[in-house]
Amino acid sequence: MKNNHGTLFVVATPIGNLGDMTTRAIETLENVQRIYAEDTRNSLKLMRYFGINNDLLALHDHNEVQKIEEIQKFLEAGNDAALISDAGTPLISDPGYKLVRELGKADIKIVPIPGASAVITALSIAGIPTDRFTFEGFLPAKSTARKQVLAGNALEPRTQVYYESNHRVQACVEDIVEVLGANRQITLARELTKKFEQVYRGPVGYLGEWLDEDTKRLKGEFVLVLQGADKQDDHSASELDHRKMLKVLIDELPVKQAAKIASQLSSMTKNEAYQLALSLK
Ligand code: SAM
């Protein structure tokens, strides 16, 4: 059904290297009547660099819900708008999902202007299977919660992609080793597309040491691409994974609760998990 509403363009911007801005992104940001940006000060630099003169308004995690009505009215009046985030593709660990959902319901046209995203950029050079993968976004900041998520993914056969901040990358790597063992293959990609872009590929057991070798390696932005659980040695691998998962859980929870969660996350029955948990206690 046709209407006279304007369009929301969801526009990807570079994740570091401004040379990755697409022609379509520049044209779109020039042509819309208004741009919504996660951080207007940050996006102003991008606008200036590309000589784009346009109104920038803030749309971030804290005001997204309140802004939806205003944006919907603006578009329903026949104006076009663009949504950008600080870097990469909006909605990918960035605000915008609720806005897109509601505008979709209101029958407003939403057009993607694709470009860089750290998840795909990292996968493209990881050297870890990319036929199937899960994007996990940021792991929890606290170690206990982080280990629970990792334990929940211990048997996941697909490649897993995590975003991580420089404050936590070392602690996160330690938790991966503790929960999944030292042998899992991992690719750490830091500062993608930027001057100090760097990549580690190998077992996660050596990654902590690699990071410690040079303090500069702990700076910047990181993506972790983790190989999925090995399917070849299903039985012994799952036995090992069950033990690892339960070890993490019983460190934090009473045995009964740990067994219940472990059975929900694995092929073990509650009783099998309980017996295994008791033997590990
Ligand atoms: N929307 C962005 C995208 O499409 O990738 C992601 C935004 S999220 C708030 C920021 C996180 O993405 C960083 O903490 C880091 O994990 C990852 N990231 C963004 N740019 C990166 C880069 N140049 N190199 C490595 N990781 C990056």
Q: Which residues of the chain have pLDDT under 70?
A: 1, 231-240
Contact assessment for residue 94 and residue 38, using Cβ atoms and an 8 Å cutoff: yes
Cα of 220 from ligand 1 centre, angstroms = 10
Task: Locate the ligand 1 atom nearest the alpha carbon of residue 12 and give its number.
Answer: 4
pLDDT at 11: 98
Cα of 87 from ligand 1 centre, angstroms = 7
Cα of 122 from ligand 1 centre, angstroms = 10
pLDDT digits (tens, 9 = 90+) for 167-205: 999 999 999 999 999 999 999 999 999 999 999 999 999
- The first and second tokens of residue 239, run together, are 């036995």
Task: Locate the ligand 1 atom nearest the alpha carbon of residue 164 and give its number.
Answer: 16
Pocket test for ligand 1, best of 163, 192, 198 (most atoms within 8 A of CB): 163
pLDDT at 266: 84
pLDDT at 145: 96
pLDDT at 245: 86
pLDDT at 232: 47
Cα of 37 from ligand 1 centre, angstroms = 16
Pocket test for ligand 1, best of 222, 225, 226 (most atoms within 8 A of CB): 222
pLDDT at 272: 85
Contact assessment for residue 246 and residue 255, using Cβ atoms and an 8 Å cutoff: no
Task: Locate the ligand 1 atom nearest the alpha carbon of residue 138 and give its number.
Answer: 16
Measured by CA distance, the residue closest to atom 11 of ligand 1 is 163
pLDDT digits (tens, 9 = 90+) for 249-263: 999 899 999 999 988
How far is it, in rounded angstroms, from Cα 44 to Cα 31?
16
Contact assessment for residue 115 and residue 20, using Cβ atoms and an 8 Å cutoff: yes
